[in-house]
Amino acid sequence: MREVEVVGVRIELPSNQPLVLLKETEGERHLPIWIGAPEASAIAFVQQGIVPPRPMTHDLLVNTVNALGRTVTRVQLVRVQDTVFHAELVFDDGTTVNSRASDAIAVALRVPCTIYCADEVLDEAGVRIAEADDDEDETETRDTEQELRQFREFLADVEPEDFEH
């Protein structure tokens, strides 16, 4: 398992389908996951520090878990099957609960807790993007630009249906 962080929620055009973009904390791979609009809002609200006047569904879940004396200690993205991402909430007593990846991410941001991704998921669905250093030579810069162009093409060519949950 590798630790990942939420880069943000984006709306991909022309489909207007939201996706959450994750990145390895110690690596170059990004993981785009197409999600529903309610989950996109739930993730974006937390990232922007927006507190709704009443608890959203993910807030309710976190509040209920806390009221029962439990804690979500980590979230794990465990597999991708037929373009569907599967996750688990891991509790302080070791109990795991299956979840959609988008819901697990929304919960993780509220707790907050660390998000991990199985190596197999990153190998299958991750996209490598090398970040350019100031002292790179021209060849390395061209390679990085090519990888960024490939990532953009990947996002442009993928349909939301490829990642339905």
Give the model's pLDDT for residue 45.
Answer: 93
Give the model's pLDDT for residue 91.
Answer: 98
Q: Considering the entire predicted model, what is its pTM?
A: 0.78
Q: What is the pLDDT along the chain (165 residues), one digit of tens a residue?
A: 999 999 999 988 888 889 999 999 999 999 999 999 999 999 999 999 998 899 999 999 999 999 999 999 999 999 999 889 999 999 999 999 999 999 999 999 999 999 999 999 999 999 987 654 545 445 555 555 655 566 666 666 655 555 544
The domain of 65 spans 2-163
Give the model's pLDDT for residue 83.
Answer: 86
Give the Cα-Cα-Cα angle 92, 69, 112 (nearest 5 degrees).
55
Q: Which amino acid is present at 131? A: E
> Residue 89: which CATH number?
3.10.690.10
The count of domains in the chain is: 1
